[in-house]
Amino acid sequence: MRSFKYYTATSWEDAVATLGKYKNAQIVAGGSDVLGWIKDELTGPGAPLADVLIDIRTIPNTSYINYDATAGLKLGALTTLTTVAESSDVQKNYPGLATAAVSPASPSIRNVGTIGGNIMQRPRCWYLRGANFPCYKKGGDFCFSVTGENQYHAILQGELCYIVHPSDTAPALISLNATANVMGPNGAKQIPFDQFFIGPRTNVLKETVLEHNEILTEIVVPPPAANTKSVFMKVTQRGVYDFALVSIAVAAQIVNGVWQDGRVVLGGVAPTPYRATDAEAALKGKKIDANVALQAAQDTLVKARPMSQNAYKVDIAKNIIVQAVTSLVS
């Protein structure tokens, strides 16, 4: 691995200030993705290789799970995925999130990988991850997937760049109407996860609204409304240890089989976690059955613009919406 400097932060403010001081500094939590990036020397004009790593695991009180019925769930950004997945509070009140937290990567990665890191991880597009492709996301002027091997790429909202968002927990958090607490040079602020992720058109060099010197510090999930059910599903080629071809998180209040209100969020289909508002609209006030779910799926996927090799993902997305939605009433 290339050499870099290492900084131990003592507080969020310290970490933010240090990020401001070094142009090519990056924060490191669990480290799986950050170190992989450096090892593979993925760099370009818009993606300088990190030369300072700022350890935020040295900041006190960053790993915790607090739940109460009125305030909801608070997750320290450095809480490991294993801890989140094994938390009885999470399992009981947010089963979709618990499943999403046990879905990424492997146990030994989830043992160090943090919930914050899972949300902030960079996409897995093989052009982005190949050192020899100077693509948009590295500051280049080309997306190789458009004329290339795009079997895993975006079917929705791709423009300029056709990555898919890799996180399993992000769709779950959006479905649960969670909020990000962020520390920046001007102090703390809250950003709903619904508005946290940005597409390539907004800024192709990053996937979230956070600036270089802003850090995700805490995840807040409101207490589940009465009659809320949530689910997370993921389609992968291998049985485990695989990024999603398509994933889905659904959280909804369902009374007597009728969808009162809820969210449907897809992963693996678009450059951001994809909030399927068309599906939500189609489901609202309906008694859930396979036909209603299929209508919701069709309303969503009618907007799909598959590339030369990934039309099959449209089918998967359609089918998984039906499966996930109907599972809430079965």
Partner 1 sequence: MADEIAPEQEPEEKEEERATTNGQVTRRQFLVGAGVGAVIGIAGTAGVLTLVHPTAPVEQAQTVATPSTTSATATASALVEGTKLIALNVNGRDYEIAVEPQYTLAEVLKRDLGLTGTKLGCNGSMCSACTVLVDGVAQNSCSLLAIREVGKKIITIEGLEQNGKLHPVQAAFWDNAAYQCGFCTPGQILGAVELLNKIKNPTDDQIRAAMSGHMCKCSAYPNILAAIQAAAKQMA
Partner 2 sequence: MPAAKSYVTPLDYEKMTPEEREWAVLTGRADLDRAMKEGTPRSTTPPASPPAQPSADYAVVGKPQKDLEGYRIVTGKSTFTVDVYLPDMLYVRVLRSPLPHAKITSIDTSKAAALPGVYGIITYKDIPAQVLAGLKPVMASEPALVGDPIAAVAAVDETVAEDALNLINVQYQQLPFIVDPIAGAKSGAPLALSNLQSNVSGPDFKVVRGDVNQGFASADVTVEHTVNTQDQQHVALEPHIAVARWDNDVLTMWTSSQYTHAIARIVAATLGMPYSKVRVISAFTGGGFGDKTAVYPYHLVAALLAKKTMRPVRYELTRLDVFYEGSHHFQVVQDIKLGFKKDGTLVALQADSTARLGAYSRGSGLAGDTLSGARLEYNIPNILLNGRGVITNTSSAGARRSVGEASGMFALETLMDVAAEKLGMDPVDLRLKNINETGDPESKLPWTSNGLRDCITNGASAFNWKSRWQGWANVNKGAGPLKTGVGFMALASNKGSKSPPMTAVVEINVDGSVRVVQGAAHIGGPQRTTFAIIAAETLGANLDQLSVSEPDTAFTTDTGIVAGSRATKSVGSAVKAAAEDARAQLLGYAAAKFSKDLSRTVNPQDLAVTNGQISLQTDSSVKPITFADAVNSGFIIVDGQQVPAAATIIGRAVVPPVTQYAQQTYAAAFYEVQVNVQTGVVRVTDAMQIHDVGKVINPLQLTNQVHGGSVQGTGFALTEDYIYDTATGIPVSSNLDDYKMLMINDVPKITALFVESNDAVGPFGAKGIGEPAFMAAAAAISNAIYYAAGIRLTSLPMNPKRVLEALKA
Binding site for partner 1 (CB under 8 A): 1-10, 14, 18, 28, 30-32, 35-36, 38-40, 52-53, 55, 57-60, 62-63, 78-80, 82-83, 86, 105-109, 111-112, 239-241
Q: Which residues contact 201 (CB under 8 A, 6 or more apart)?
A: 159, 160
C-beta closer to partner 2: residue 283 or 314? 314
C-beta closer to partner 1: residue 154 or 244? 244
Minimum Å gap between C-beta 10 and partner 1 is 5
C-beta closer to partner 2: residue 130 or 185? 130
- Contact 295/141 with Cβ under 8 angstroms? no
C-beta closer to partner 2: residue 75 or 246? 246
Partner from partner 1, partner 2, none contacting 144, C-beta within 5 to 8 A by type: partner 2
CA distance 3 to 27: 16
The residue with tokens 């043992």 is 111
CA distance 200 to 313: 20
Partner from partner 2, partner 1, none contacting 148, C-beta within 5 to 8 A by type: partner 2
Partner from partner 1, partner 2, none contacting 5, C-beta within 5 to 8 A by type: partner 1
C-beta closer to partner 1: residue 5 or 189? 5
C-beta closer to partner 1: residue 30 or 158? 30
Minimum Å gap between C-beta 285 and partner 1 is 39
* C-alpha closest to that of 234 among 107, 115, 96: 96
Q: What is the DSSP letter of 254?
A: E
Q: What is the DSSP letter of 121?
A: P
Minimum Å gap between C-beta 195 and partner 1 is 29
Query: What residue ranges in 150-186 does DSSP mark as E strands?
Result: 179-184
C-beta closer to partner 1: residue 92 or 189? 92
Minimum Å gap between C-beta 176 and partner 1 is 22
**How many CA atoms are closer than 13 Å to the CA of 83, on its beta-carbon side?**
16
Partner from partner 2, partner 1, none contacting 236, C-beta within 5 to 8 A by type: partner 2
Minimum Å gap between C-beta 186 and partner 2 is 37
Q: List contacts with partner 2 (CB under 8 A).
A: 1-3, 40-41, 124, 126-127, 129-133, 144, 147-149, 151, 235-243, 245, 309-312, 315-316, 319-320, 323
Give me the long-range contacts of 277-282 (CB less than 8 A, separation at least 24): 278/302, 278/303, 279/321, 279/325
Partner from partner 1, partner 2, none contacting 112, C-beta within 5 to 8 A by type: partner 1
Return phi, psi of residue 73, to 5°: -110, 130
Q: What is the DSSP letter of 59?
A: S
C-beta closer to partner 1: residue 10 or 227? 10
Minimum Å gap between C-beta 58 and partner 1 is 4
Return phi, psi of residue 203, to 5°: -160, 110
Partner from partner 1, partner 2, none contacting 37, C-beta within 5 to 8 A by type: none
CA dihedral for 106, 220, 206, 2, sign (positive or negative): negative
Partner from partner 1, partner 2, none contacting 243, C-beta within 5 to 8 A by type: partner 2
Q: How many helices (H) and strands (E) does the chain have?
A: 11, 12
CA distance 25 to 49: 9
Partner from partner 1, partner 2, none contacting 118, C-beta within 5 to 8 A by type: none
CA 179 to chain centre: 13
CA distance 319 to 245: 13
The residue with tokens 């920046």 is 184
